[in-house]
Chain A
C-alpha cells in the first residue's frame, strides 16, 4: 500500500506541480491566471497519442510536435485571450477570456479526437513493473522542468528579463525591455511545460479530452497553496497534494477522497491565505 501511495501519489503530484508551474509562468509575465493551463496538459496527452500511436511517428518526433502544439496554444492564448483584456485587468475579464478559449479548445478536441479516452503509447519498450515508466516519467519531467527553469532564470539574460517583467512590468519597460515579446515568450514556454505535463502523464491519464478541466482544477491547488507565482511552492504543494490524494484514496476511498482533498485545501487557505510558501503582499498607500 505504501509503495502504491508513494509511486502513484508522487507521479500524479508531479503532473499537478507541472500544471501549477504552467499557471505561474503565465502569471509572472502578465499577472493573469490563464485557465488554459489544464487544457495544455490535456493537449499534450492527446497530441502525443495522435502523433505516436495513430500516425506512427517516432517517439522523439511525436514528443517535439506535442510540445510545439503546446507552444502554439500558449502563443494563441496570449494573443487572443490575454493581450486584449490586459488593459481592463481590474475587471478580471481574463477569467472569462481564458476560460472561453480553454472551452473552445476542449470542444474542438472532443469533436476532432473523440469523446472517449484513448490509449497513450508506451514510450519506452520495457516490461511493465512495480515502479513503471508511467510513474517515473512525470517525475523525470518535473525534475527536468525545475532544473531547466532554475538555469534559465539564474544563468541566462532572457531568464533575467523574465524575472524583471515578473517583478515590475512598468520598471522593466522603462528600462527598454520588450515587454510584449517577453510575455509572448513566457506563454510559449508555459505552453511547452503544460504539454510536457500531459505527455509525461499520458500513460497514467490516457489521451482524453476530459482531462482538461480536471488538470485545470487540481493544477490550480498547488498554485494557491504554494503561493501565486512561486514555482518552488507549487512543486512542494503539488507533490503533497498528490500524496495526500492517493493516501485519501486508500484510507477513505471513492468520492470522499476528493472531499478530503478540498477540505484540507480550504483549511490551509483559511490559515494562510497567501499560501504555504507565499509572502503576504504589502500594498503602498
Chain B
C-alpha cells in the first residue's frame, strides 16, 4: 500500500495531537519535586537528623493520603554535610537541574546564609527554620519564609525569664568564639541592658578551653546572679555546668537549647549538676505544669510511637518542626498549585497554620512566622520523650 504525502502528514498530525492531549493526564500524575537541604552528616547534623525524622513521616502521610490533588510529593534531598559550600551546590542543583517547586532548608544558619541569596535569585520559594535574624527580609528575599523563631525571639525569651521570672538583675553573658556565639552575645547583652539589667560579665571563650573556672570565678566576683551561655557546643556548655557544680555556686544557667540536650547530659560529672539549668524551648512541645502535653502534641507523639520513630537521641521540637514543614508546603500547593508566585502569594496571607511545633502566620511584610509567646524556657533535667517541663514560673 502506498502512502501519500497528505496521508503521512495526517498521521503525523494525529500522533502529535494524541501525544499533546495525553500529556496533561500524565503530568497530573507526575510527582511534585520538593527540594530539601538538610545537614544529615557533619558537625551540625544533630538538628538535621531530628528534623529529618519528622519530614519523612509527614511526606509518607501526605502521599499515603493521596498526595496533593493526586500527585505524590517527591522529596529531593541533598545532604549539605553541615557545609555552606555543599549547601550552595545542592541548592543550585535543586533549582537548575531538578527544577523543584519549592525548597525546604537548609536547617542550619551558616548554610542558609549562603543559600538564601542564591535561591532569591532563582525565584524559588524557600522555607527554612534558621534563627539568624538576617535570614528573612521580605524586600530582599520576597520568596523566603521562616517557620521558626528568630534569634531576637530566642534571646528575648531567655532575657525575659531571667529578669521577670527569676528577678535577677546582674547577669553574665558568655559564648564560644563561633559566629553564632559571638553574634548572640553581641545581640543579647544590649537587649538585657535595655531592659534594665546590669551585664557584669560579657565574654567569648574558645570552646576547646578545658578549664572554664577562671571565667566563672570572674563572673562570681563581679556579682553575677545568672549565667546566660550561648553556644551549640555540648562540651563547652557542660564545662560551664560542671564548673558551677564544682564551685558549689547556686546560680541559674539560662540560655541555648543545647543546654538540655542528651549530649550535654552525658558530659555532666554528676546528674544533680543539671538542676537549675533552663534552656530555650517551645511551649507547644513542652509538658505543662501537671506533666501534660497539649492534645495536638499528644496525638503527634502517639503517631511517632506507632511509626516507631526513635526519640531517645533527639528532641521533640526538631521532629515536630520537620513534620510541620512539608504539611505547610502541601497545604499551599493544595490551595493554589505549584507555581512559585502562587505559593508565595498564599504564604504571604497564611494565618495560624496549625503546626505541632507552633501556629505559623506570615504577612507580605513579615516572613518570620513563629509566635513570640510560644518561645519559653524549660527545666533541662526534665527531659522525657524528647520534651521538657516548662521552667518554674510559667502558667499552663
Given A117-B234, A254-B203, A255-B177, decide whether A4 and B213 contact each other with a Cβ distance below 8 A.
Answer: yes
Q: Do residues B42 and A110 form an inter-chain contact, with CB atoms below 8 A?
A: yes
- Closest CB in chain A relative to B343 CB, distance in Å: 34
Interface: A47 (CB within 8 A): no
Given A1-B217, A255-B177, decide whether A117 and B263 contact each other with a Cβ distance below 8 A.
Answer: yes
Interface residues of A (CB under 8 A from B): 1, 4, 8, 12, 110-111, 115-119, 128, 204-206, 208, 210-211, 214, 246, 249-250, 253-255, 257-258
Interface residues of B (CB under 8 A from A): 41-46, 82, 177, 203-211, 213-215, 217-218, 233-235, 238, 263, 266-267, 269
Q: Do residues A117 and B177 form an inter-chain contact, with CB atoms below 8 A?
A: no
Q: Do residues A250 and B214 form an inter-chain contact, with CB atoms below 8 A?
A: yes
Q: Do residues B43 and A110 form an inter-chain contact, with CB atoms below 8 A?
A: yes
Q: Which residues of A contact B203 (CB under 8 A)?
A: 253-254
Q: Do residues B205 and A115 form an inter-chain contact, with CB atoms below 8 A?
A: no
- Closest CB in chain A relative to B214 CB, distance in Å: 4
- Closest CB in chain B relative to A49 CB, distance in Å: 11
Given A118-B266, A249-B209, A254-B203, decide whether A111 and B214 contact each other with a Cβ distance below 8 A.
Answer: no
Q: Which residues of A contact B42 (CB under 8 A)?
A: 110, 115
CA A127 to CA B338, docked complex, whole Å: 64
Q: Which residues of B contact A128 (CB under 8 A)?
A: 269
Q: Which residues of B contact A257 (CB under 8 A)?
A: 206, 209
Q: Do residues A8 and B263 form an inter-chain contact, with CB atoms below 8 A?
A: no
Given A8-B210, A204-B210, A211-B208, decide whether A117 and B233 contact each other with a Cβ distance below 8 A.
Answer: yes
CA A208 to CA B233, docked complex, whole Å: 11
Q: Which residues of B contact A119 (CB under 8 A)?
A: 266-267
- Closest CB in chain A relative to B177 CB, distance in Å: 6
CA A57 to CA B242, docked complex, whole Å: 26
Question: Which residue of B has the minimal Cβ distance to A4?
Answer: B213
CA A57 to CA B191, docked complex, whole Å: 50
- Closest CB in chain B relative to A66 CB, distance in Å: 19
CA A8 to CA B267, docked complex, whole Å: 19
Contact of A246 among B41, B46, B205, B211 (CB under 8 A): B211
Q: Do residues A111 and B208 form an inter-chain contact, with CB atoms below 8 A?
A: no
Q: Do residues A254 and B204 form an inter-chain contact, with CB atoms below 8 A?
A: yes
CA A208 to CA B267, docked complex, whole Å: 11
Q: Which residues of A contact B214 (CB under 8 A)?
A: 4, 246, 249-250, 253
Given A204-B210, A249-B214, A253-B215, decide whether A117 and B267 contact each other with a Cβ distance below 8 A.
Answer: yes
Given A115-B43, A253-B218, 5 further pairs, Cβ under 8 A: A116-B46, A116-B263, A206-B267, A249-B215, A253-B215
- Closest CB in chain B relative to A60 CB, distance in Å: 24
The residue in A12, A128, A205, A206 that gathers the most chain B C-beta atoms within 10 A of its C-beta is: A206
Q: Do residues B215 and A254 form an inter-chain contact, with CB atoms below 8 A?
A: yes
CA A117 to CA B258, docked complex, whole Å: 13
- Closest CB in chain B relative to A176 CB, distance in Å: 46
CA A245 to CA B71, docked complex, whole Å: 62
CA A8 to CA B243, docked complex, whole Å: 13
The residue in A12, A208, A249, A250 that gathers the most chain B C-beta atoms within 10 A of its C-beta is: A249
Q: Which residues of A contact B210 (CB under 8 A)?
A: 8, 12, 204-205
Q: List 8 A-B contacts (CB under 8 A).
A: A8-B213, A12-B210, A12-B211, A116-B235, A117-B263, A254-B205, A254-B215, A255-B206
Question: Which residue of A has the minimal Cβ distance to B174?
Answer: A254
Question: Which residue of A has the minimal Cβ distance to B82?
Answer: A115
Given A119-B266, A250-B214, decide whether A255 and B46 contact each other with a Cβ distance below 8 A.
Answer: no
